[in-house]
Amino acid sequence: MDLKIIHTADVHFDTPFSGLSETEKAAVRRQDLRTTFSTIISMAQNADMLFISGDLFDGRTVSRTTLDFLKREFFKIKHVKVFIAAGNHDCFHADSVYATFDFGENVHVFGTEPEVVETESADIYGISFQTANEFRELLPRFQVKNPAKMNLLVMHGNLMGEGYNPVQLSDIETCGMDYVALGHVHAASGLKVRGTCFYAYPGCPEGRGFDETGEKGVLALTVSKGHVTAEFVPVQQKMYVSTSVDVSKAECMEDIAKQLNGALKEPQNMYRFRLTGSSSFPIDTEVLKSGIDAFDVSVIDETVPAVDLEQLSREFSLKGLFTKFALEDRANMEAEAFELAFKTGFSILEKEERNEN
Ligand SMILES: [Mn+2]
């Protein structure tokens, strides 16, 4: 019989969202996380199990609102078994919510030693981090009891082979599990297989900053003995979108504003615009920001001054000399690195010139 499983991780409830420009927006994003989780719960309605592979909470302190919310959500799927393994952000210890709060009868939180929950269809193994810095190697501690059954493992861990619970590919290959449901890495890995063991990071279901751009989701798994298929299902409320816009052709601020609004496709998202190219007039990023109607916007000016570099390099001045040397180095540099280096140097010299005057 096939098992239907929803696999999520790194929800990070009660995350402060400090990267946003206003505190009210952070509150909206915390609510977004709840809405996203409700979406996951709706998906789990039609599944047999829900796996949560660590960092369900962002920190050790969890708000009452979040706990009550979770209890209600888990109750909605009381016919579905929920398995939670604590991660580095929400490690399991005597005072943690995992030890003190009752999440409901259908919810199992793994302890800090290898554990197995035997169900009719499969054996579900799991373990929680016991400290935020869990440097034990946890996977080699597991021994599959019944190789003929479906054996699944829920665990937070770092497949990069270093740091928190380092997970070795060679151990995945020999662990005897049919699927290892990982958490920790916030980018989705896609379904992987090593030997006969499938494994995956679903990534976080909702981005928390511009280092977590694009679609975020969960894995809808179909598991049978020795075989797993996975569908990545986006569930995010809002995406972080980072875009570069070349403003070399703009003649005034209004032109840039038009370009940015043209690049704005889904105003519910968080946008970061990087202005590139050259500009012959000063750019006020605050003015540009205020003219864009998106949930949150940041504008970063990476343009270089529109000057005739060849002509400037012949000028007898500090700026002229700087430009001359810069142009000599240009051939050996990446275009992006040259632009950044030139802009930085040039603007320092311009400031110096102003200070002297
Ligand atoms: Mn995490």
Average pLDDT over every residue of 168-179: 95
At residue 320 the predicted structure's pLDDT band, cuts being 50, 70 and 90, is confident
Q: What are the structural domains of the chain?
A: 3-234 (3.60.21.10), 240-356 (no CATH)
The helix (H) or strand (E) run that includes residue 278 is strand 278-279
CA of 211 to the centre of ligand 1 (A): 13
The helix (H) or strand (E) run that includes residue 343 is helix 335-356
> Bigger pLDDT: 318 or 231?
231
Distance CA 217, CA 149 (A): 29
Distance CA 259, CA 167 (A): 46
Beta bridge partners of 310: none
pLDDT at 163: 80
pLDDT tens digits for range 222-236: 999 999 999 999 999
Instruction: Point out the least confidently predicted range of 47-51, 59-63, 90-94, 162-166.
Output: 162-166
Instruction: State the average pLDDT for the chain.
Output: 92
Under 8 Å between Cβ of 172 and 146: no
Average pLDDT over every residue of 64-73: 97
At residue 190 the predicted structure's pLDDT band, cuts being 50, 70 and 90, is very high
Distance CA 202, CA 235 (A): 11
Under 8 Å between Cβ of 129 and 91: yes
CA of 172 to the centre of ligand 1 (A): 21
CA of 10 to the centre of ligand 1 (A): 4
CA of 89 to the centre of ligand 1 (A): 7
Question: Has residue 20 got a pLDDT over 80?
Answer: no
CA of 234 to the centre of ligand 1 (A): 18
Residue 205 tokens read as 């279901």
